[in-house]
Amino acid sequence: MPPCPPALRRVAVVLLLVLFWWMAASVSYKYSTTADEVPHLTAGYDYWVNGAYNLQPENGNFPQRWAALPLLAMKPRFPAPDDPAVHGGDVWHVGFDVFYGLGNAPDVLLAAGRAMIALLGVATVALVFFWSRSLFGSAGGWVSLALAVFCPVLLAHAGLATSDMAAALGFTAALLAWWRLLHRLTVGRVLAAGGALGLLAVAKFSCVLFAPIAALLVVARLLHRAPLPVATGGWHARLRGWRRAAALAGGGLASVALAAIVIWASYGFRFSAQPPGASGEFLQDWDHVLMTTPRALVIDMADRLPPQETMQMTPGAVQKFVGFARTYRLLPEAWLYGLAFVERSSRFRMAYFAGEYRLTGWWEFFPTAFLLKTTLPALGLLLLAATVPLWGPRTSRWRLAWRLLPLLALLAVYWTFALTSHLNIGHRHLLPTYPALYILLGITGWAAARAPAGRRWLDVVVALALMWHVSESLHARPGYLASFNELAGDPDGTHRLFIDSTLDWGQDLPGLRQWLDTHARGEKTFISYFGSGDPAFEGIKATRVADNYFDLRPHPAVPLMTGGVWCLSATMFERSYTNVRGPWSDAYEREYQRLTTWLHHLNQQPKNTPPTNTDGTPISSKQLGDWLFDLEHLRFGRLCYFLRQRAPTAVIGHSILIYRLGDDEVAFALNAPPALL
**What tens digit of pLDDT does each residue of 537-591 get?**
999 999 999 999 999 988 888 999 999 999 999 999 999 999 999 899 999 999 9
Task: Extract the runs of DSSP E, i.e. beta strands, from 604-661.
Answer: 650-652, 656-661
Which alpha helices (DSSP H) does 485-585 contain, by range?
Answer: 509-519, 570-573
**Is the distance from CB of 568 to CB of 69 less than 8 angstroms?**
no
**What tens digit of pLDDT does each residue of 507-520 get?**
999 999 999 999 99
458: Cα separation from own chain's centroid? 36
CA distance 38 to 322: 28
- Helix pair angle (394-420, 210-223), 10° resolution: 160
Residues forming beta bridges with residue 673, ordered by sequence position: none
CA distance 606 to 322: 55
Half-sphere exposure of residue 586: CA atoms within 13 angstroms, side-chain side: 0
pLDDT for position 396? 78
pLDDT for position 391? 73
Give 98's DSSP letter.
Answer: I
CA 637 vs CA 50, 239, 360: distances in Å: 43, 68, 23
CA distance 236 to 220: 23
CA distance 526 to 640: 13
Name 610's Cβ contacts closer than 8 Å, sequence gap at least 6.
618
Rg (CA), the chain: 27
DSSP assignment of 25-58, as one string?
HHGGGT----TTHHHHHHHHHHHHHH----SSTB
Give 100's DSSP letter.
Answer: I
Helix (H) or strand (E) holding 15: helix 6-26
Three-state SS for 673?
coil
Q: For residue 569, report the phi and psi dihedrals to the nearest 5 degrees.
A: -60, 145
**Is the distance from CB of 43 to CB of 52 less than 8 angstroms?**
no
**Is the distance from CB of 557 to CB of 539 less than 8 angstroms?**
no
Reported residue count of the chain is 677
The pTM is what?
0.96
Half-sphere exposure of residue 84: CA atoms within 13 angstroms, side-chain side: 0
Q: Dihedral, CA atoms, 220, 223, 229, 233, nearest 10 degrees?
A: 70
Give me the amino acid identity at 251. G
**Is the distance from CB of 546 to CB of 632 less than 8 angstroms?**
yes
**Is the distance from CB of 335 to CB of 326 less than 8 angstroms?**
no
277: phi > 0 → left, psi -120 to 50 → alpha, else beta; which? left
pLDDT for position 31? 94
Q: Which residues of the chain have pLDDT under 50?
A: 1
pLDDT for position 1? 42
DSSP assignment of 335-367, as one string?
HHHHHHHHHHHHT---EEETTEEESS--TTHHH
